[in-house]
Chain A
Amino acid sequence: MIDLLLQGFAVAFQPSNLAFIFLGVLLGQVIGALPGVGPAAGMALLLPLTFGLEPATAIMMLAGIMYGGQYGGTLTSVLINVPGEASGVMTAVDGHQMARKGRGGAALSVAAIGSFIAGIGAVAAVAFITPALSGFALRFNAPEYFLLAALGIIATASLGATPIRSLMAGVFGLMIALVGTDPLAGTPRLTFGQPALYEGIDFIPVAIGVFGIAEVLASLERAHDMHPIRTRLKDMWLTSAEWAQSRMAIVRGGVIGLFVGIMPGAGASIASLLAYLTERRFSRNPEMFGKGAIDGVAAAEAANNSASHGAMIPMLSLAIPGNASTAVLLAALILHGVRPGPMLMTQEATLVWGLIASMFIGNVMLLIMNLPMAPLFASLLRIPYVYLAPGILVISLVGAYAATLDFGTVWMCIFFGLLGWLMMKFDIPRPPLVLALVLAPLLETSLRQSLLLSFGSPMIFVERPISAVLLVVVAFALILPVWSAVKRRRNRIA
């Protein structure tokens, strides 16, 4: 296997391939930083331009856009609190708070380092244990996905000042997720006969609205106290104390991200949420989470990058894409005359191992690109907010339009901006709304699929081993907070 990997590096190190890997990761970085246009859309857009290239070169470049996008997406999450993709929501929670305190440079640096370490680890897993992991991925199906999604939804309750407020936001997210086309029956529901609502309410206008637009609206009210951040460039680097705090978060986040990423139904957003919540359990200062905890940023970023690499495992070994980006990679393989499937890794060894090697190289390039730039980007916030706000609005609304090419999305984005502003006023946390919206389709679809598989019997959740374990975890997640609240109250009375 080492021989194959070395051959892969020989392919990837050819000068033209290196140039295209660089082009790919650079484009990914830029596309990821634009809210609305995600890596998958960017890859689809650039796909026709790769037709003149060798298949291996084309795939290396397109994959570069995919994981480069994960690095780039951090930028808007941290600096302007606009996650361009679902997997960036958890990064924004603490990353933006850090930026407000003048630690934006540190947040961006730890995100780049965390993404790098987790990315390299995940590529190593792709290289050496793909066959074993692809078998594991197939053991996850509807019942397991349902419990994972339930765990995520329950966990969002802990993302605000009080569980009640978080649950209100979460339930509202679940409600708006029901609008659209019934995912199983294919019939419209709660659309009030409006064709514009048939496809449901998308994540992008909601996230851009409740985070980006709402932030700008809120700033209008407190214009007098919006001072630009006054830190010197050299104070923006990651300190050694911050690094010590983030090291293990990166490792844990990376491992969680890899396992969630290889499940074709789960994806990077669940990975980063679970990694963030796990990290809060392990952290020495969990009270900082939500207020600018660097280990939260490190875990979320490590997890979403390793999940996006992990999605390569079912794609390469089973031709099953785990997310939109790997679906475009599969299409690219077919259009270049390569037949994806279980035999791909043996029949197209040069291409597959070249791709794996290119992912090692691409991650190194991204680290080199991002580390020196982090303080520079972060110092954008030294510009007074009055000058930044119009730019943020433009980027947000253009992003919303670009996501669907429909002007209705822009109105929806403005509506959710107003809603987000109201939520800020009433101190209702915004991440649970967005996360519930992302998790709801998985929750609903997998529950109904589970019950179809079992002909209506709920025993399916107990009979399957992995599902049974997850059920216990979900039960604990539900009971523990209630139990500790009861205990606290008793202590107070006594």
Chain B
Amino acid sequence: MSLFKLSASLALCATLIGVPSAFAQEEMRAPEGPIEFTVGSGAGGSPDIIMRTIAQIMNEEGIVENPIVIQNRSGGGHSNAYNHVLGLPGNESTLLTLASPVFTTPIVQGTDSVIDQITPIAGFVQSELVLLTTPDSPYNSLQDFVAAAKEQPGRVRIAGGASGGNDHVATGLVEKAADITLTYIPHESGSAARATFLGGNVEGHFATLAEGLEAINAGQAKALAILSAERRTEEGYADVPTATEQGVDVVYTQFWGVGGPPDLDPAVAAWWADKFEQATQTARWQESLEANMQLGEFYGLDEAGEYFAREQETFRTVLTQVGLAAQ
């Protein structure tokens, strides 16, 4: 890190400490020693990349002095990771990455909710989904797609990442809103699903905006709808209508956040929420959001718990509807 950057970030810290902010009123305490960010996906998955990016910013911009290690405890639909963290009550050197499987795996397996047990810290990044179809497909809009599914229930296929995954939830929401039945074909990973889609084996596939744009620009896919509240403004997406505009009232975004082990000292949780807020305000984080076409809505300590509980309810409703929730 350059001396300039160091002094700039020190100045930033000084300002934050000096000016009373919402957080400064709460007591904050820094944890000691190295920190583990536990990630439930393998290296290379979205949650892994997000946590590596933010950890790198925290350490290199001097926001967090404790060395941060990303530990991939993959397998079991993130249950290896969350069981590890749930087994460390009060531990101050471990944070759990919250991705949708942390919410959905307990619902599917019928085990205790993870979100109700951990200490919520922050939700800090979201990603919208685009529904793609093959470039030579007869469908040119979401209405065409829905009409085909109405005509032949269950004959329109979606290649998806995993049962209970984000794209499965999105599929369930579209089915419910448009009153249709689709065939969701689960895969071992999002990229395996993409291979099935690019090979022309199915009609539809949900992709993140950045992945989708690559495929569209290469002539490998066309976009039917984006499941966002408003249209995107980027070239390539500006003329893609939202699902709501096309009469299918679905707004759905994937999101990621962090939580601490159960019974984490509130002062340490407050410190982390503050550090995540600082890191997400850096130019580097904003650049990363832009490059990956992600949203950066921040839910701090006060709102995170409520936000996660709300999302958990969405997951429970949809998973019950598609018949995946354990009774």
Q: Is B154 an interface residue (CB 8 A)?
A: yes
Cβ contact within 8 Å between B163 and A185: yes
Closest-CB distance, A59 to chain B (whole angstroms): 13
Residue B188 is within 8 A (CB to CB) of chain A in the complex: yes
B76 near A265: Cβ-Cβ < 8 Å: no
Asked if B324 is at the interface (CB within 8 A of a chain A CB), the reply is: yes
Question: Could you say which residues of chain A place their CB within 8 Å of the CB of B49?
Answer: 331, 334-335
Say if the beta carbon of B183 comes within 8 Å of chain A.
yes
Residue of A nearest to B70 (CB): A48
**B3 interface hit (Cβ, 8 Å):** no
Contact of B108 among A186, A341, A342, A343 (CB under 8 A): A186
Chain B residues with CB under 8 Å of A240's CB are none
Does any Cβ of B come within 8 Å of A286's Cβ?
A: no
Min Cβ gap A190→B in Å is 14
Q: Is the CB of A341 within 8 A of B218?
A: yes
A141-B195, A195-B83, A328-B43 known; A48 vs B186 contact (CB < 8 Å): no
Contacts of A47 in B (CB 8 A): 43, 52
Q: Which residues of B contact A181 (CB under 8 A)?
A: 76-77
Smallest beta-carbon distance B168→chain A, Å: 9
The answer on a CB contact under 8 Å between B215 and A341 is yes
Contact B187 A327 (CB under 8 A): no
Q: Is the interface of B mostly helix, strand, loop or mixed?
A: mixed
B292: nearest chain-A partner, CB-CB: A334
Query: CB < 8 Å: which of A198, A264, A327, A455 contacts B79?
Result: A198
Q: Which residue of A lies closest to B52 (CB)?
A: A335
Q: Which of B56, B162, B163 contacts A48 (CB 8 A)?
A: B56
Name the distance in Å between B135's Cβ and chain A's nearest Cβ.
Answer: 12
A199 touches B (CB below 8 Å): yes
Q: Closest residue to A184 on the B side, CB-wise?
A: B186
Residues 28-79 of A contacting B (Cβ, < 8 Å): 40-41, 43-44, 47-48, 51
CA distance A51 to B162 in the complex (A): 31
Residues of B within 8 A of A141 (CB): 195-196, 199, 201
Q: Is B9 an interface residue (CB 8 A)?
A: no
Please measure, in the bound complex, the distance between the C-alpha atom of A329 and the C-alpha atom of B199, giving whole angstroms.
23
* B202 contacts chain A at the CB level, 8 A cutoff: yes
Residues 162-219 of B at the A interface (beta carbon under 8 Å): 162-164, 183, 185-188, 191-192, 194-196, 198-202, 210-211, 214-215, 217-218
A340 to B191, CA, bound (A): 12
A452 touching B185 by the CB < 8 A rule?
A: yes
Contact A44 B43 (CB under 8 A): yes
Closest partner residue, chain B, to A441 (CB atom):
B188
What are the residues of chain A within 8 A of B275 when measuring CB–CB? Answer: none
Q: Which of A183-209 contact B (CB under 8 A)?
A: 183-188, 195, 198-200
Residue in B closest to A342 when the chains form the complex, CB atoms: B218
Return the contact of A341 from the options B75, B186, B201, B211 (Cβ within 8 A). B211
**B55 contacts across to A, CB distance below 8 A:** 48
Asked whether A142 is an interface residue with its Cβ less than 8 Å from the other chain, the reply is yes
Q: Which residues of A contact B202 (CB under 8 A)?
A: 453
Chain B contacts for A44, CB-based, 8 A: 42-44, 70, 72
CB distance from A81 to the nearest CB of B (A): 27
Q: Is B155 an interface residue (CB 8 A)?
A: yes
Distance A331 CA – B191 CA, assembled complex (angstroms):
13
State whether A139 touches B199 (Cβ < 8 A).
Answer: yes
Assembled-state Cα–Cα distance A153/B255 (Å)? 41
Complexed CA–CA distance, A439 and B62 (Å) = 47
Number of B residues near A (Cβ < 8 Å) is 57
CA distance in complex: A47, B55 (Å): 12
- Chain A residues with CB below 8 A from B215, complex form: 341-342
Give chain A interface residues in 322-350, CB to chain B under 8 Å: 324, 327-331, 334-335, 337, 339-343
With A and B bound together, what is the CA distance between A10 and B72 in angstroms? 36
Cβ < 8 Å to B, chain A residues 364-380: none
- With A48-B70, A320-B191, A452-B157 already in contact, the answer to whether A199 and B79 are too (CB < 8 A) is yes
A334 to B192, CA, bound (A): 18
A186 with B324: CB separation less than 8 A: yes
Whether A264 contacts B291 by the Cβ 8 Å rule is no
Please tell me if the beta carbons of A138 and B185 are within 8 angstroms of each other in the complex.
no
Q: In the complex, are the beta carbons of B79 and A331 less than 8 A apart?
A: no
Any chain B CB within 8 A of the CB of A253? no
Find the B residue at minimum CB distance from A315: B191
Question: With an 8 A cutoff between CB atoms, is A449 at the interface?
Answer: yes
Q: Which of chain A's residues have a CB closer than 8 A to the CB of B183?
A: 452, 455
A329, B154: Cα distance in complex, Å: 37
| Interface assignment of B24: CB less than 8 Å from any CB of chain A | no
A187, chain B: closest CB distance, angstroms: 6
B277 at the interface (CB under 8 A from A): no
Whether the Cβ atoms of B164 and A318 lie closer than 8 Å is no
Indicate if the CB atoms of A343 and B214 lie closer than 8 Å. yes
Shortest A7–chain B CB gap in Å is 23
Residue of B45, B196, B201, B218 near A343 (CB, 8 A) is B218
Q: Is A321 an interface residue (CB 8 A)?
A: yes
Bound CA span A73–B234, Å: 46
CB pairs A–B below 8 angstroms (22 shown): A44-B42, A51-B56, A141-B196, A185-B324, A186-B77, A186-B186, A187-B108, A199-B76, A199-B80, A264-B192, A318-B194, A318-B198, A319-B194, A319-B211, A327-B45, A334-B292, A341-B215, A341-B218, A343-B217, A404-B80, A406-B80, A449-B186
Interface residues of B (CB under 8 A from A): 42-45, 48-49, 52-53, 55-56, 60, 70-73, 75-77, 79-80, 83, 105, 108-109, 111, 154-155, 157, 162-164, 183, 185-188, 191-192, 194-196, 198-202, 210-211, 214-215, 217-218, 220, 291-292, 324, 326
Inter-chain pairs besides A138-B198, A337-B291, A341-B218, 7 sampled, C-beta below 8 Å:
A141-B199, A186-B108, A186-B164, A188-B109, A331-B45, A449-B187, A452-B157
Shortest beta-carbon contacts, A-B, top 5: A341-B214, A342-B218, A44-B43, A327-B44, A199-B75
